[in-house]
Amino acid sequence: MEANAGGLDYPFVFDYKVRAGDFDAKFTTDLSCKFGPDEDSRALTMETVGRRIEFTWQKKYNRNFVRVIKYDWPTPEDKATGTVTFTLDYRVVFNIVLDDHGVVHFERDQSASKFALDLTSDQGWLPDLGGFEHEIKGRILGFYEPKFKEVLRHLEAPKSIDTFVLRNLLFPGENALQLSQAFVPGDLAVYGEIDPLRTATVLSPSRRIVGANSKIQFSLDPQPQAVTWSAKDVDGGVVLGDVITPQGLFTAPARDKLSDGMLTVLVTATAELNGKKDVRSSSLVTVVESMIAVNPIFSSCGAGKSVELSAVSMDGAALKWSVVSSIGSTLKAVEGKPNEYILIAGATGNFDNAVPIVCDVVEVANPATGEVATLNVVVVKGNMLTPKMTADSDLKAGRVRFELYDASDLIYDPADYDITWTLFGGHGALDSKTGMYTAPAVTPVNGLAVIAASLKDGRNYFSCFVAMPLPLAHYAELIKGVDNTLCGRRINDTLLGVDV
């Protein structure tokens, strides 16, 4: 699993004195880091290494710096340039432990986790900077360590997974789950068959994944008499009502019934066969919001650049791709990979000068069912501003508002500038003047809100955008954690996106 967007924005400025404190000096460089991949560095990555799970963020950048010493008149200022190498290594490790009782534990290994960074110069540090090396590195560490730890503060693995409970208590009565496969990391996916212990009839299909509101016709072999049907939520949190007919026709619940985007239903047939009463057979039905899985649901790139997209239908159906774009963006199939396409963004010349940011909408459709899933790709050009969440935002209540800041962290007062806010993509409502966004009452599949702002300063136009997953209340801690660190000043530095 790799991050494909987002990062920490850090224009580094160090003011100091030279010549016994007589003259002012300034050292500046860009120490921003991306969560996504770079030309020579990997993305923020989660992977399995032997019997443990590792989250790693390793970056190495060569950045230009400028050092200026301002002497008194008539001596001109002394300006020097060069290159600094900035390296960052952050690692969080979880050990996978199986105890004697068949319980799987994920234990955070503090001794194997680490946070380290370094800054070196191709000139061995300028002579007037040598004494400040430790102070410079201390400031950089003081910026990065708390911010990145805050972003990953909620990075936790499940406390434990008891396979005994899964096999013996999930299907009480006359059936048991016979495990055959299990996968980690991420969700622990366990597959098996509901094996009849005393039944003489078999329910088909025995396992199925379907979309919300879909229908399944169940059958029994051999066909018994006096069949009654029942369906229940395995977790017991959802009351399903009459979702299966006396003839065994099952209708999957609507999307608003799906907690966390999915629901597992146990369908049971009880009948009489050859004089034996209470003969039973059961089936598992997993109901999902959408049968089309897209990745990523949101991405961004610069004008003329490209981004990779993927989509797959859970029933194996062939999908049809199309793009709606105001700047002439196109889609290109990836040879040998029918589920992957590349979006090639329109060129800079295709933009309206007053609108340096657009949202391309890629639609992926299943022609057989009519289901359509969307992927949003924001394409930007020109100067980007920094949006920050305001104090009157209430994520739990589904409301959020942003203000605009320049590179020096100074706010743009709406009374002095022509600022327009737009709901650029996704769902919800937005006040174009105040920038207050209100999330929809019902969150759609792959819910997302892309908010854009445009600012006119004389003859110049500036923009920014913020992409947030929905519902806001569910992702409140994540959005708060990345506020002020994931921003729109650089392409791909606005949303924390994850490829799974």
So what's the pLDDT on residue 62?
Answer: 82
Distance (Å, rounded) from C-alpha 20 to C-alpha 38? Answer: 42
Do 490 and 7 touch, CB atoms closer than 8 A? Answer: yes
Residue 466 has pLDDT above 50, yes or no: yes
So what's the pLDDT on residue 30?
Answer: 85
Distance (Å, rounded) from C-alpha 215 to C-alpha 249? Answer: 7
Are residues 145 and 7 part of one domain? yes
% the chain with pLDDT above 90 = 14
The tens digit of pLDDT for each residue in 116-161 reads 777 777 666 656 676 677 777 788 878 877 776 666 655 555 556 6
Last residue in a domain, options 151, 175, 191:
151
Do 421 and 453 touch, CB atoms closer than 8 A? Answer: yes
Task: Taking residues 367-374, report their average pLDDT.
Answer: 89
Are residues 453 and 400 part of one domain? yes
Are residues 408 and 278 part of one domain? no
Task: Taking residues 105-110, report their average pLDDT.
Answer: 76
Are residues 279 and 221 part of one domain? yes
Last residue in a domain, options 105, 132, 151:
151
Q: How confident is the model at residue 437 (pLDDT cuts 50, 70, 90)?
A: very high
Range with top average pLDDT, 1-15, 28-42, 421-435, 445-459: 421-435
Q: Is 219 or 2 the better-scoring residue by pLDDT?
A: 219
Task: Taking residues 381-390, report their average pLDDT.
Answer: 76
Are residues 283 and 298 part of one domain? no
Structure tokens at 428: 């919800």
So what's the pLDDT on residue 407?
Answer: 67
The tens digit of pLDDT for each residue in 246-281 reads 999 999 998 888 877 788 899 999 988 877 888 888
Sheet containing strand 298-302, strands side by side: 298-302, 372-380, 357-365, 320-324
Three-class secondary structure of residue 136 per DSSP: helix
So what's the pLDDT on residue 177?
Answer: 46
Instruction: Give the end-to-end CA distance of the chain in Å, rounded to a whole number.
Output: 5
Do 392 and 401 touch, CB atoms closer than 8 A? Answer: yes
Are residues 166 and 263 part of one domain? yes
Are residues 86 and 27 part of one domain? yes
Are residues 250 and 169 part of one domain? yes
The tens digit of pLDDT for each residue in 319-350 reads 999 999 889 999 999 998 889 999 999 988 88
State the burial class of residue 459 (Cβ atoms within 10 Å of its Cβ: 0-12, 13-18, 19+).
exposed
So what's the pLDDT on residue 342?
Answer: 94
Are residues 283 and 204 part of one domain? yes
Q: How confident is the model at residue 1 (pLDDT cuts 50, 70, 90)?
A: low
Are residues 132 and 71 part of one domain? yes
Residue 178 has pLDDT above 50, yes or no: no
So what's the pLDDT on residue 184?
Answer: 44
Task: Taking residues 205-216, report their average pLDDT.
Answer: 87
| CATH code (residue 481) | 2.60.40
Range with top average pLDDT, 73-82, 137-146, 174-183, 351-360: 73-82
The tens digit of pLDDT for each residue in 280-306 reads 888 888 888 888 888 888 888 888 889
| Domain coverage including residue 314 | 292-380
| CATH code (residue 175) | 2.60.40.60
Q: How confident is the model at residue 34 (pLDDT cuts 50, 70, 90)?
A: confident
So what's the pLDDT on residue 247?
Answer: 94
Least confident window among 131-135, 392-396, 400-404:
131-135
Are residues 164 and 145 part of one domain? no
So what's the pLDDT on residue 267?
Answer: 92
pTM over 0.95: no
The count of domains in the chain is 4
- Contact partners, residue 103, CB within 8 Å, separation at least 6: 160, 161, 162, 163, 164
Last residue in a domain, options 340, 362, 380:
380
Are residues 164 and 280 part of one domain? yes
The 10 Å CB-count burial string (b at 16+, else e) for 138-177 is eebeebbeeebeebeeeeebeeebebeebbeebbeebbbb
Q: Please state, rounded to an integer, the average pLDDT across all residues of the chain.
A: 77
Residue 416 has pLDDT above 70, yes or no: yes
Residue 77 has pLDDT above 80, yes or no: yes
| CATH code (residue 338) | 2.60.40.10
So what's the pLDDT on residue 174?
Answer: 45
